[in-house]
Amino acid sequence: MTTVLERARSRKPITWLTLIGVLLLPVVIGGILVAALYNPVERLDGMQAAIVNDDEPVTIDDQLVPLGRQLTAGLVEGADDQPSNLDWTISNADDAAEGLADGTYAAVITIPANFSAAATSTRPGETPEKATIQVQTPPDSLIVDDAITAQVASAAASVMGQQLSSVYLENVFLGFTTLGDQLGTAASGASELASGATSAADGADQLAAGFPQLSSGASGLASGATALQSGLGQLAGGARGAASGADQLAAGVNAGADQLVATGLVPSQVSDVAGTSSQAASGVLALAQQCVANGGDPTYCQNLVTAATGSQQAAAGTVTALGGFSTAGAQTIAGQFRTIAGNITALGAGVTQVAGGIDQSAAGAGQLASGASQLAGGIDQAGTGAVSLADGVRQLADGTGELASGLQTAVEQVPSYSGSEASTLADVVANPVEAEGVGTSLFGASAIPLLAMLALWFGGLGTFIALQAVSRRALSAREPSVALAFRSFLPAAALGAAQGLLVAGVVQIAASYDWGQWWAFAGIAVVAGVAFAAVNQALVAVFSGAGRWIAALVGVLAIATGVVSTAPGALSGLASLMPTAPAYHGMVAALTSAGGFGAAVAGLIIWAALAFGATILAVARRRTTSARALLKSSPVPA
């Protein structure tokens, strides 16, 4: 079944099958592009990758830490917010190399042997080292495969690094708390030490104040000991004199006794002997009393007193005896005299012993005086040292007080965290910046508008590959040029509008947008289909076959500048002047929150009007010719 439409570059009529093919061309193009490229991360399970885990676990605090195994599990299990994951195979180096070579694996991730050791090298006493993983892809991998593999590996490494950093920082923050507690304990101890040092300084001051008194007492002791030594020397001299007198007295008594026996009792002689004995006894008694007063040895002094008292009693007994026996008993009295003489001799010996003891006491007193003098000198030196000690201890107290104050200030400035607070803070510090609103689609929100725009553009190009841009009857027709141009544009515009609706339907099936967004998208797609029909008609009408080549270049330019923003500025600037630019921006505005929808519609209408005007001029130009052109046999102008 044919139509009245003219076929380009042929006089064969246009069939409805041709029109259906032209109508479905952008649908097929758009469907293939959307199905193949839209949101490929939802179909990651179609990519097979291998993991080679050569990691050797480490032991920390008697606990095995297999970080390579944990990373492998994380890659295989994937993330909760990721709809799909690669098809992972846990392999070895040889199998992975073979799989890369024969195309079995799209990527191979190798975890080296030192991964755990390097990842945990932040412990004290170790040299920090970064843990690395290796990613390999085959040399003939597709364009996006490398990007997908790198993104998955980077995400896994980032998560693992974040977890390790979080654990490390949590220990650091808990260490702050422990440090603060220890500093608090040190501050308390320093405060107590400062208080004790202050008390010690006060005691040292009192000690230093007491040393002069002690030195004065020691000096007094030395003086007293010297005086005692002198008095004891005199006492010893007196004791020796008394002992000598006692010996003389004993000799006199014995001589008197001998004379009494030879000559008989003479009262006057007896009285003289008794008086002499009494005087000697009184002298010894006085010496004994002086011994006690001068601080002699108590035992010797007491013996001396006892002997003197006995001598006095003996002298008194002699006088009494002589009184009773004045005329007779000379022999008896002589015997008593000899007894008295023996007692006096014994008394002299005792006094001599007392004198020796007094000499020893005097020597001891001399040593005591010398020692007391040395003690006084030592006490003076100790007093000087006590003053220095007091000053030093007070400086220690002041320094310790400053230390306690500084430690307390440090305690106030060191942060303190509970276990949950440290964990939360560590998570934040380990990943301080987080991007929100980042989509999981590899091509972003602009993928659908770009693919739909390209499908409609090449659909418009395909329309005028099949249809005649300028009627062959332009030279002979009587209709005005506007009518002739409109007659060729009307079926192309209808096809473009239908193409826009069909492409919008394919997009809705693939992406399931809200109906409000879809109606806006469908509207801009219809307008773009009509405008693209007008532009492609003008290109072919003005440039003939070269116009189709120019249209193809416009489509390539739209692809080159629509995929990535790093395209050269000259190409991006040129692409922004093309009719594909308002169609793309209008579709983006329809599906996202980006503005410019109205401007995009206006831009497409302007392009359609300008293109239709160019077509009218091309039709008008075709309506004039030369005689030579009429003689040519070729009837096909374009």
List the CATH code of the domain at 41-141.
Answer: 3.40.1710.10
The values of phi and psi at residue 52, to 5°, are -110, 110
pLDDT of residue 237: 76
- CA distances in angstroms from 132 to 118, 156, 160, 316, 434, listed in the order given: 8, 12, 11, 128, 23
Q: How confident is the model at residue 613 (pLDDT cuts 50, 70, 90)?
A: very high
Reply yes or no on whether the pLDDT at 2 is more than 50: no
CA distance 106 to 89: 11
For 111, the enclosing helix (H) or strand (E) is strand 107-111
> Which letter does DSSP use for residue 565 in this model?
T
pLDDT of residue 164: 62
- What's the pLDDT at 582? 95
- In this structure, the dihedral spanned by the alpha carbons of residues 221, 227, 229 and 235, taken in order and rounded to 10 degrees, is -140
pLDDT number for residue 633: 46
Residue 210 has a pLDDT of 76
Q: Are 369 and 227 in contact (CB under 8 A)?
A: no
Q: Which residue has the higher pLDDT, 582 or 258?
A: 582
- Main-chain dihedrals φ then ψ at residue 262, nearest 5 degrees: -80, -40
Q: How confident is the model at residue 431 (pLDDT cuts 50, 70, 90)?
A: very low
Give the pLDDT score at 400.
Answer: 78
Kindly state the helix (H) or strand (E) to which residue 477 belongs, with its residue range: none
Which tops the pLDDT comparison, 417 or 638?
A: 417
Domain ranges of the chain: 2-38+445-631, 41-141, 195-397
Which one has a higher pLDDT value, 210 or 284?
Answer: 210
What single-letter DSSP state applies at residue 151?
H
pLDDT reported for residue 523:
95
SS3 call for 261: helix
The single-letter DSSP state of residue 440 is S
Q: Helix 447-466 and helix 16-37: axis angle, to 10°? A: 160
Round to whole Å and give the CA distance between 567 and 189. 69
pLDDT the model gives residue 36: 55
Summary count for the chain: helices (H), strands (E):
17, 8
CA distance 144 to 122: 36
As a dihedral over the C-alpha atoms of residue 526, residue 532, residue 535, residue 537, rounded to 10 degrees, the angle is: -90
Give residue 439's pLDDT: 45
Contact 535, 581 (CB under 8 A): no
What is the overall mean pLDDT for the chain? Answer: 75
The share of the chain scoring above pLDDT 70, in percent, equals 62
Q: Counting every residue, how long is the chain?
A: 638
DSSP state of 389: H
If one compares 351 and 403, the residue with the highest pLDDT of the two is: 403
pLDDT in tens, 235-274: 777 767 767 777 776 787 677 767 766 665 555 655 665 6
Residues forming beta bridges with residue 15, ordered by sequence position: 2
**Exposed, middle or buried, 20 (CB in 10 Å: 0-12/13-18/19+)?**
exposed
* Cα separation, 169 vs 332, whole angstroms: 123
Q: For residues 236 and 209, is the Cβ–Cβ distance under 8 A?
A: no
What's residue 435's pLDDT?
37
User: pTM, whole model, 2 decimals?
Assistant: 0.53
**Two structure tokens written together for 270:** 């007896």
Instruction: Please state the rounded mean pLDDT for residues 218-246.
Output: 73
The least confident of 258-262, 292-296, 386-390, 539-543 is 292-296
Instruction: Give the span between the Cα atoms of 627 and 621, in whole angstroms.
Output: 15
DSSP 8-state assignment for residue 64: E
Other Cβ atoms less than 10 A from the Cβ of 67: the count is: 21
Average pLDDT over residues 405-416: 69
Per-state percent for the chain, helix, strand, coil, to nearest 5: 75, 5, 20
pLDDT band for position 622 (50/70/90)?
Answer: confident
Q: Is 500 helix (H, G, I), strand (E, B) or coil?
A: helix
d(C-alpha 402, C-alpha 430), whole Å? 38
